[in-house]
Amino acid sequence: MTIQEVARHAGVSAATVSNFFNWPDRLSTGMAERVRSAVDELGFVPNMPARQLRTSRSGMIGLSVINASNPFFAEMVVAVEHAATEKNLSVMVGSTHESPQQQRQYLRMFEQFRFDGIILTPFDDNLQQAHEIAARGTPVVLVDRTDDEGLLPSVGTDHEAGGYLAARHLIEQGCRRLWFVSGPRQVQQMVRRLRGYQKAVDEAGNVSLEVLEFPDLDVGFGREAGRQIADRDPQDRPDGVFGGNDLQAIGIVAELVDAGVDVPGEVAVIGYDDIVFAATTARPLTSIRQPSREIGAAAAEMLFERLLSPSTPAQQQLFQPELQVRASTRR
């Protein structure tokens, strides 16, 4: 079945049917409904490879995130999908799970299938592949990573400021033996959060800091950190703990409570992201909020701008984190 047959059935031109699939904003509501009815009645499915040859557009956006099961990234994905739908675009999501090999594979696939653009949450500092893809003509927007060369636009949060907020809050609650429970050090968000955390500790002068690194940012490793804290003599335990993200912090709190450690009386715990579950746990979690939906929407808008005007200078948009105080630290 061809576009011409759909056009005859709908009583419109073939160009009108083409506009329906490629530039729907050019059609009136009545005309679009007329074509849609014909498409549904005939069961017509457009030939996407042929469409790409005609328009040089796939109608697809590639979105590569570190871990799509993390509620922060899940919220960001929803925002990108919503913005893309408004532009009649679809989104394919890839989750790299802290694997540079997986990231390279997704980026290669997005480019090979001629996706219109890519939104990338990089795993590490290596942006060579992203630079090469952009140089070949596929726009790339970074999330949570600034391009030091200024070639790629980016959207993110000031993680150093977030780490500083976390430490200052714990210190203000009277904590003097601080821990930072980190994910992989290759994840730049962890590096920046630790940098800000360390800065507040240094400023305080009478506060110690210990860093505990785990290979992933999930509840399971949070529980492992909680076990290590609970197994220590009470005099040697940290009295303030910053989880690398909310999932880790939730695991820490759960394990400490199960072990009979008073949270926050003996150990205050703060997380990062302010995911939807943070306020609903048995011990509501204090967290550093970064606006996931706003970040996703901003990244999508930057990508749309690059699609319309590829020569637009790369913009950098940085959101400021916010402290959300709840029962896990309130003494």
Q: Which pair of structure tokens corresponds to residue 203?
A: 């400023």
Q: Quick one: pLDDT at residue 57?
A: 66
Per-residue pLDDT of the chain (331 residues; tens, 9 = 90+): 788 899 999 999 999 988 887 778 788 999 999 999 999 999 888 766 555 555 556 789 999 999 888 899 999 999 999 999 998 889 999 999 878 899 999 999 999 888 999 999 998 888 999 999 999 999 999 999 889 899 999 999 999 999 999 999 999 999 999 999 998 877 788 999 999 999 999 999 899 999 999 988 899 999 999 999 999 999 999 999 999 999 999 999 999 999 999 999 999 999 999 999 999 988 999 999 999 999 999 999 999 999 988 888 899 999 999 999 999 999 8
Rounded to whole angstroms, how far apart are CA atoms 151 and 166? 32
Read off the pLDDT of residues 45-64 as tens digits, 9 standing for 90 and up: 876 655 555 555 678 999 99
Q: Hey, which residues does 154 pair with through a beta bridge?
A: 142, 316
Rounded to whole angstroms, how far apart are CA atoms 222 and 218? 6
∠ CA 136-154-89, nearest 5°, is 65
CA distances 240 to 201, 243, 248, 328, Å, are: 12, 10, 14, 10
The secondary element (H helix, E strand) that includes residue 118 is strand 117-120
DSSP labels, 215-278: SS-SHHHHHHHHHHHHHS-TTTS-SEEEESSHHHHHHHHHHHHHTT--TTTT-EEEEEE--TTT
Backbone angles phi, psi at 217, to 5 degrees: -105, 75
Rounded to whole angstroms, how far apart are CA atoms 27 and 20? 7
Residue 107: which of 88, 86, 122, 125 has the closest Cα? 122
Rounded to whole angstroms, how far apart are CA atoms 34 and 28? 10
Q: Quick one: pLDDT at residue 23?
A: 75
